[in-house]
């Protein structure tokens, strides 16, 4: 008995359901498969983000294996998510059966997405839904012609792309295995039609699982839509496919930025998360990695050999061989080689943060330089400050961290130690080698070191050598 799609369903409503209950045993991991990261997002987040183009009214994630971990990972997702439990993983059809109570009163289309197919383009999902609605299908499924279809379900169509059945690879006869049209695991269903046939699934197959794909033979019409770029429907079952997906994603991201006016030298040695935003005329040098919520302003040159995470880099910044995390670098500043900025460091405009300098949770005013071998932690520096080579803020007493404040135009001599908490006003000059422990209002020279002592003719008592021998 076939069930025909009702014409009266509310075709404006879309619910998205993601199959994410499986363990993903082929990943050989403690982490549930859908929580594996891919370019700055977990697989499940990536799929949820991709589905947003359809403006779904409901987002449902079907969870099972380590469900608490999956729920926790999505706790702060940008849209509300409903979780539906599949306590035993008895197959993709069984997973979708768990939607029945949650969608009891739902009267629209449901997009069902495998939790391990993360590279779908917006345009593919939009076309799938549009075709589904225009043709008034009971189900519309995404398919592709794969030269090596092993492992995928094979889709059999009669004419006009109308699907007759889907047979899993392991259930295929030798003749059926010759069919190269594969099921991508991405489906659009008219929910009322699907809900009617879901209870009729059986597990009479090689894996004794309830296959979602078996509903196709019970629905009409079911239409297959071939995806034009088959890389989009790569399913992640093992780490090798995860790495392949990463490479595909990287090529897409770098191509997009190069077309938008960013120069990338040796793109194969560069990685950029798709959460990163670059302005025109940014130059990315080889061996550079840009991650997370990072923005780079126009004309900035990043690299070679740099890592930037969750940071804001201003216009025309030059940054070489350096690591920047959770920090801000303002326009025209030079960073590196070998600088490490972290923990909400904020560097002003036209600064130099140089060779082997670490800055943690500190604010540095405009035109201030710390060019060599320094550590600045929990510090606030005014404008035009000069940090002498080897200056260190001693910010940690073993229990607590303490602040250091340096006024405008203050200069620390080479090898100064600033023992926090410490406040020095503007125009203070610190003599080289000083250990500074007390606050200074400003406009002063501070010398905090013992005087040099010279003892002419002094020798070690045990020495037998004489001046004449040297």
Q: Which positions are annotated as active-site residues?
A: 372
CB of 309 to ligand UD1, least distance (A): 29
CB of 117 to ligand UD1, least distance (A): 6
Beta bridge partners of 357: 339
Interaction site with ligand UD1 (CB under 6 A): 19-22, 62, 64, 86, 89-92, 94-95, 114-117, 152-153, 166, 168, 182-185, 211-213, 235, 237
CB of 154 to ligand UD1, least distance (A): 8
Q: Which does 152 bind (CB under 5 to 8 A by kind): ligand UD1, Ca ion, none?
A: ligand UD1
The window from 115-123, 196-204, 352-360, 442-450 that contacts Ca ion (CB under 5 A) reads 115-123
**Which residues have a Cβ under 8 Å from the Cβ of 324 and sit 6 or more positions away?**
306, 307, 308, 309, 311, 313, 335, 339, 340, 341, 342, 345
Is position 32 an interface residue for Ca ion (rule: CB under 5 A)?
Answer: no
Distance CA 280, CA 391 (A): 37
Q: How far is CA 409 from CA 279, 360, 379, 404, 422, in A?
A: 33, 21, 15, 15, 16
Q: Which does 362 bind (CB under 5 to 8 A by kind): Ca ion, ligand UD1, none?
A: none
CA-atom Rg of the chain in angstroms: 31
Is position 153 an interface residue for Ca ion (rule: CB under 5 A)?
Answer: no
Q: Which is nearer to Ca ion, 246 or 265 (CB)?
A: 246
What is the number of the residue whose Cβ is closest to ligand UD1?
Answer: 153
Q: Which is nearer to ligand UD1, 225 or 301 (CB)?
A: 225
Query: What tokens were used for 174?
Result: 């030798």
CB of 162 to Ca ion, least distance (A): 25
Cβ-count burial 72-94 (b if 16+ within 10 Å, e if not): ebbeeeeeebebbebeebbbbbb
Is position 235 an interface residue for Ca ion (rule: CB under 5 A)?
Answer: yes
| Element at 133 (helix H, strand E) | helix 122-134
Q: Which is nearer to Ca ion, 116 or 309 (CB)?
A: 116
Other CB atoms within 10 Å distance of the CB of residue 285? 20
The window from 142-150, 159-167, 231-239, 378-386 that contacts Ca ion (CB under 5 A) reads 231-239
Q: Which is nearer to ligand UD1, 233 or 353 (CB)?
A: 233
Beta bridge partners of 264: 284
Residues that bind Ca ion (CB under 5 A): 116, 235, 237
């Amino acid at each position: 008995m076939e069930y025909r799609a009702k014409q009266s369903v509310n075709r404006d409503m879309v619910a998205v359901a993601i199959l994410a209950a499986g363990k993903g045993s082929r990943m050989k991991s403690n982490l549930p498969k859908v929580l594996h990261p891919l370019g700055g997002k977990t697989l499940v987040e990536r799929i949820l983000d991709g589905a947003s183009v359809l403006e779904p009214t409901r987002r449902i994630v079907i969870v099972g294996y380590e469900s608490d971990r999956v729920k926790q990972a999505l706790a702060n997702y940008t849209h509300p998510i409903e979780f539906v439990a599949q306590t035993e993983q008895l197959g993709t059809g069984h997973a979708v059966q768990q939607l029945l109570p949650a969608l009891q009163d739902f009267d629209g289309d449901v997009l069902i997405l495998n939790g391990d197919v993360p590279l779908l383009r917006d345009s593919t999902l939009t076309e799938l839904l549009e075709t589904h609605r225009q043709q008034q299908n009971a189900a519309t499924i995404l398919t592709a012609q794969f030269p090596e279809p092993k492992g995928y379900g094979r889709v059999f169509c009669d004419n006009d792309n109308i699907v007759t059945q889907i047979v899993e690879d392991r259930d295929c006869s030798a003749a059926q295995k010759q069919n190269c049209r594969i099921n991508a695991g991405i489906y659009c269903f008219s929910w009322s039609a699907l809900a009617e046939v879901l209870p009729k699934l059986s597990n009479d197959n090689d894996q004794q699982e309830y296959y979602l794909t078996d509903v196709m033979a019970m629905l009409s019409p079911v239409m297959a839509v071939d995806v034009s770029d088959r890389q989009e429907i790569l399913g992640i079952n093992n780490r090798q496919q995860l790495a392949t997906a990463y490479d595909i994603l990287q090529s897409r991201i770098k191509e997009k930025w190069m077309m938008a006016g960013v120069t990338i030298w040796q793109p194969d040695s560069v990685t950029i998360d798709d959460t990163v935003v670059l302005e025109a005329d940014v130059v990315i040098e080889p061996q550079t990695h840009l991650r997370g919520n990072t923005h780079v302003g126009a004309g900035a040159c990043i690299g070679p050999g740099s890592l930037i995470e969750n940071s804001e880099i201003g216009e025309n910044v030059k940054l070489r061989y350096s690591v920047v995390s959770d920090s801000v670098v303002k326009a025209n500043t030079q960073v590196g080689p070998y600088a490490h900025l972290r923990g909400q460091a904020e560097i002003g405009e036209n600064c130099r943060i140089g060779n082997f300098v670490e800055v943690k949770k500190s604010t540095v005013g405009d035109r201030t330089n710390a060019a060599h071998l320094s550590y600045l932690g929990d510090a606030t520096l005014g404008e035009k400050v000069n940090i002498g080579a080897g200056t260190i803020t001693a910010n940690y007493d073993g229990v607590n961290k303490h602040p250091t404040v340096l006024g405008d135009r203050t200069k620390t001599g080479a090898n100064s130690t600033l023992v926090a908490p410490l406040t020095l006003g503007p125009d203070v000059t610190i003599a080289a080698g000083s250990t500074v422990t007390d606050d200074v209002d400003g406009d002063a020279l501070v010398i905090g070191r013992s005087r040099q002592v010279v003892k002419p003719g002094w020798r070690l008592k045990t020495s037998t050598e004489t001046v004449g021998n040297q």
